[in-house]
Structure 1
């Protein structure tokens, strides 16, 4: 259960990316929301309380001051903590259209949780813009899209700054994973390499990067596959082999889970 305030934004036909709705949620202890292969991306800033966010197989615990991103074409589950006295409160924007390209251009397509993001003022802009341009739907849509683009740009800059401050240990883990872009991944090999349990590796990696080892490497592989699908005429089976998948059917399923379309469909759209 929840209550809050939401605004539906008029659609502007000429825009490839647009804000469908925005608002604020006051989530009660029993709040639960789930989307299977979501048709939209959610960009949210937590004002109070704490909740749980699951994106495909990844789970995060956003608290006050954190940003979370629920990407399009993914499984989303959002729940409030059952034992907190205050409402889990967050500002949110629902963005539709070619959102992936926007997030890719700012290197945020692998990012789902950004702790301690000092951008609350940007997320309040939606309500300010309604007060200024509420009677002009097209102007409102354009201003909201600019505001969301500014949020994404600022978050990207924050992540870039933090990446430069990763511990030596996590930087070495990233370098190790980057070398596996074209090879199969075995958690036991990584454990042996770093003389740590894989659970310890994953915990350290996620704490600093905001994502798991597996998701970091998977995004690298999917990005490589996208490039090969767009820029070459290689068969899907050859592309699968080049990014470390012996089974092309399995690769196609992984690709669709991550992007919402099969490799063949992706190639048709991009050529």
Structure 2
């Protein structure tokens, strides 16, 4: 089960802290008027929510729902984070049919997005699992650090601390969601043909290695397949050829360097994968409608005019 959270709104966080419980303490029976998220650090917790027994162990995250009564069923030693919050647009997704596909589409939209655009490439919703074990240790460390920072914000109580607290909590939720989505999409992709999985690997490779000398031959060597076949499959899945996508990634990075670095155009082209300055200029104009110099001039004029 997942909760869809509208990211246009920040959560209103009442409490964010960590605590240690010891026997004979048992969570009292209650129906909260807010969402409560637990993340177990050490030990074990025994709960019952809506008549269902839940055993939480280190690395487990769980969302207690305000619609249901929850109660502790057994005393135990446990150290855990807790976050009490409300949200104006958060709803449970009881029916998960098609959700794996949606999560994969969102991930793919994010991977292929223009990083210099103002648009929210994957929409405005976050999908937070109700119950999830964080297998990825690096993600668990990130979430732990974020929740520790959230706790610090709540302690200092300087101006706007509640906003910063909400931002840290939301960032932790995003990291939890990303970790879960990675597992969900891997499970989905593994059911698809091998060619489909290759496209996902190729997208990640192009985004990461865009500045390298990438050719059809180098891709055949890297992925062990025929380039023409890879290109046809890539276009079928993404709607564009491999090198058209690669050039778009390179040009996007070049745009950022043009506006935010003192590098010469030749050096910028080289740093994003175009060692030939004239070829870089032609490709840049093809994708933006302007030469690199014209793009830089317009960017400087915009800054002078306060845009």
Class of the TM-score when normalised by the shorter of the 2 chains: 0.3 to 0.5
* TM-score of the two chains, using structure 1 as the length reference: 0.40
* TM-score of the two chains, using structure 2 as the length reference: 0.35
